[in-house]
With several copies, the nearest count.
Chain A
Amino acid sequence: MSEICTADEAMARVHDGDMIAAHNWGISGSPGYLFRALVERGVKDLTLCIPNLIPLPEGFVERGLTDPTILIPQLKKIISPFFGARGIMSRFSEAFFDTLAKEGRLEIEASAHGSLMERLHAGAMGLGGVYSPVGVDTIVEEGKEKRTIDGVDYIFERPLRPDVGLVKADKADTLGNLVYRGSARGANPVIAMASKYTIVEVFDVVEPGVLEPEMIVTPGVFVDCVVRIPDEDVYSEKRRPELMQLLAEVMLARGVQSEAADIEGGEE
């Protein structure tokens, strides 16, 4: 049964060495309020599974917002398809990464977006692994079994079953049923299903029956813990116009470019 609790209470469930999964595609849909609580919890040697690792533009962290790169000092491994490289390098010194690498403390495992979703799905379904056609002949296949089936080459992808899923939803009811809004849905429903223990941050908690049974995306059985973001917090629904304004200023300062514009590598 889902419990309603605070972020601190929820984080007590996270331990050293855990595998954590979370969504990230900029601010929207990413559990920034829970990231901040995880930093405060101070656990270490975590493995993080995340579709993107995109640093926030300047000016956001100063206002109390948190992106997943903030977690890097607590990680021993990152499994991700996309690293906002320049932003990460500007946040942490090159010396910092050199030290991590020398100490063997930060392992990076690259994946394709679809394969990461499929590995989480496989974990959720209790599978031993799947043969995926994506990433053949690329860095993604390194160290993985290859197999040709009916003339097509595949890579063996192992399931991911995170110890803790950090999920961002729009609203929950008191039974833990979740709805999302727009493109903020992302990997959140997949992470909720794949994780052994699922913690959700929401703008609002409503009574059962308020969310239509046809609109519920994540049924409450997958949700262990619902955290309502306090009204005064920078992540609260009340303060979203302020965030939007800040984001707009950043975008205007850059011209036509977008929040995630600095994710583009090299030539592109």
Chain B
Amino acid sequence: MKDRLTEELLAMRAAQEIRPGDYCNLGIGLPQLCASHVPAGAIVQSENGALGYGPLVGPDDVEKMDLDFIDAGGSFFTPAPGMAFFDMSTSFTMIRSGRLMSFLGGLQVSEKGDLAIHSLSDTDEFPQIGGSMDLAWGAKRLVILMTHNTSDGKSKVVKELTLPVSARKCVDLIITDLAVIEVTSGGLALMECTPGWTSEEIQEQTEAPLKVADDVKEMEF
């Protein structure tokens, strides 16, 4: 079987969507891994109430960890000049302002750009909504980072969501371990393929129909 992207490579590709001067919220899971690849001059936001902090502390730097410097995923971050702290009401005003781009994980994305992220079942007793619904609604640009298929091989890029919807028509771009896919008014456009994979092979792994972009290319890192 062909190789898919590692989590690290996926995060590196995704981080290319962030430009200097952008404000970006990094969600829990794969998006967190982008923190180490954010370009200089871009500013990271965390929904629990921090903006403009520095790189995450690695496991070898325990002495740099500060109990009061945690991001939304509970990772410890380092301070940076110009960072700011604020309460969660201010944080969600920010998130709903349309001034942030947002990277989220995903369980499913439909061809219309609908997103499922918070639960695996309609009868889930303990849903995990967190900030995802606010982030999906308010983002200037919403990028979903996820594996292309579930662990049992089902496509996560679907015609219609089968999992509980988190927000409708919100996704702008999908980055998976197989492809970069743009959500357009005319459906899903395959923009980039993981090295070694053809458009046809990616379509085979994808429930929703993909239009192959004229300038489709191989992913670069």
Contacts and interface: CB of A to CB of B under 8 A. Distances in A.
Are A and B close enough to touch in the complex, i.e. CB under 8 Å? Answer: yes
A113 B85 contact: no
B92 to A, nearest CB: 3
Contacts of A190: 87-89
A27 B68 CA distance: 9
Contacts of A115: 133-134
Contact of B100 (A51, A118, A221, A261): A221
A257 to B, nearest CB: 8
Contacts of B32: 258
A59 to B, nearest CB: 16
B40 to A, nearest CB: 12
A113 B59 contact: no
A121 interface: yes
Interface string B38-67: 000101011111111000001100100111
Given A113-B92, A265-B128, A183 B48 contact: yes
A218 B28 CA distance: 25
Interface residues of A, number: 88
Contacts of A181: 68
A25 to B, nearest CB: 5
Interface residues of B, number: 82
A136 B85 contact: no
Interface of A: 1, 25-29, 51-52, 54, 81-85, 88-89, 97, 101, 108, 110-115, 117-118, 120-121, 124-126, 133-140, 173-175, 177, 180-190, 193, 207-209, 211, 213-214, 216-217, 219-222, 240, 243-245, 247-248, 251-252, 255-256, 258-261, 263-268
Given A112-B129, A121-B93, 11 more contacts: A85-B125, A88-B126, A133-B137, A177-B82, A183-B46, A183-B85, A186-B87, A189-B87, A219-B86, A222-B94, A255-B59
